[in-house]
Amino acid sequence: MDYLLFIFERLDWLGVVDILLVTIVFYVILRTLQDTQAMVLLRGGLVLIALLGLLNSLDIFPAFSWLVSNAFPALLLAIPVIFAPEIRRALERLGRTGYLVSQRGEEENGDIVDDLVSAAVRLSDRKHGALIALQRLDSLQEYVQTGVALNARESPELILQIFYPNTPLHDGAIVIDGDIILAASCVMPLSTSGSLITTPERKMGLRHRAALGTSEESDAIAIVVSEETGVISIAYSGRMIGNLSVDRLQRILRTFYKPEKSKNPLGAFLQNIFPWLSSQDLEERL
């Protein structure tokens, strides 16, 4: 208690601001890593560091203490290597914060959303499996290159034809930028977070893992239609929302796949860097 009182007696407003800044940094890092594979690695690393620190503080294992004190700098150098994908994505988001204005108008966006909803419902009624990735600020060009280039204006009929069973392009995903289908039969990244295993959707297959993986690797919105049940789901910002009705699907798309010019610039800046902010907004709106 005397030590705590000693600290509080010498704490001024600059010290409070300093502590708040450090707290905000750690909060943002932990929220950004939430529900990702990096969080599992971070949790394991913290447990290992705590265990090594405890053993090192006992001063009864001199050889072990020497090993820990010499190996710790190497562990610090290994952290950027382990978390390289997460660091790269965070820097990419930060670098794209200048591109906050979309050129799509409200009317054009409404037409696109209506076409996507119509296609998803018709695919669901026929139980034709589908995966549609909607590109936003983060480029999906590396995945577009794995598919067959189309560069065709989207329409419900074209989407239905692409995902018709046993046609050459029905496997994989289509990538849409604005109202243009860039490519079909694209290979998307699979989720490694394991969140589909611990949720009611744990029986979902590769399409759902690819949809979730796409949303983890970028800020894209992924629409997936189950081939077995016809259920429509959406993956966004590393989260899966399943069993969507037509109205709810339309509300989600109109909320997030819309022109950015109507947004508050500060809000758009923060959402671009921290995509989980929009996930909270999604829960509030729905």
Q: Of 56, 73, 95, which residue is a domain's last?
A: 95
What is the predicted pLDDT for the residue at 94? 61
Task: Answer yes or no: do 115 and 220 share one domain.
Answer: yes
What is the predicted pLDDT for the residue at 234? 94
CB-based contact 281:236 (threshold 8 Å): no
What is the predicted pLDDT for the residue at 37? 57
Say if pTM beats, i.e. exceeds, 0.75.
no
Q: Which of 234, 237, 221 is nearest to 271 (CA)?
A: 237
User: How far is the C-alpha of 85 from the C-alpha of 93, rounded, in Å?
Assistant: 12
For the chain, the domain total comes to: 2
Q: Of 68, 95, 122, which residue is a domain's last?
A: 95
What is the predicted pLDDT for the residue at 38? 63
Task: Answer yes or no: do 241 and 136 share one domain.
Answer: yes
What is the predicted pLDDT for the residue at 164? 94
What is the predicted pLDDT for the residue at 258? 61
Around Cβ 244, how many Cβ atoms within 10 Å? 20
Task: Print the domain residue range for 27.
Answer: 2-95
What is the predicted pLDDT for the residue at 99? 44
Phi, psi of 80 (to 5 degrees): -60, -30
What is the predicted pLDDT for the residue at 100? 41
Q: Specify if 260 maps to a domain.
A: yes
Task: Answer yes or no: do 146 and 262 share one domain.
Answer: yes
Task: Answer yes or no: do 168 and 41 share one domain.
Answer: no
User: How far is the C-alpha of 184 from the C-alpha of 123, rounded, in Å?
Assistant: 16
Task: Answer yes or no: do 146 and 89 share one domain.
Answer: no
Task: Answer yes or no: do 91 and 149 share one domain.
Answer: no
Q: Could you tell me which residues come within 8 angstroms of residue 143 by beta carbon, excluding any fewer than 6 positions away? A: 133, 173, 175, 186, 187, 188, 189, 214
Q: Specify if 100 maps to a domain.
A: no
pLDDT means over runs of 10, the chain (286 residues):
71 82 83 63 75 74 76 74 68 55 49 92 94 90 93 94 92 92 94 62 76 88 93 90 91 75 47 50 48
CATH number at residue 175: 3.40.1700.10
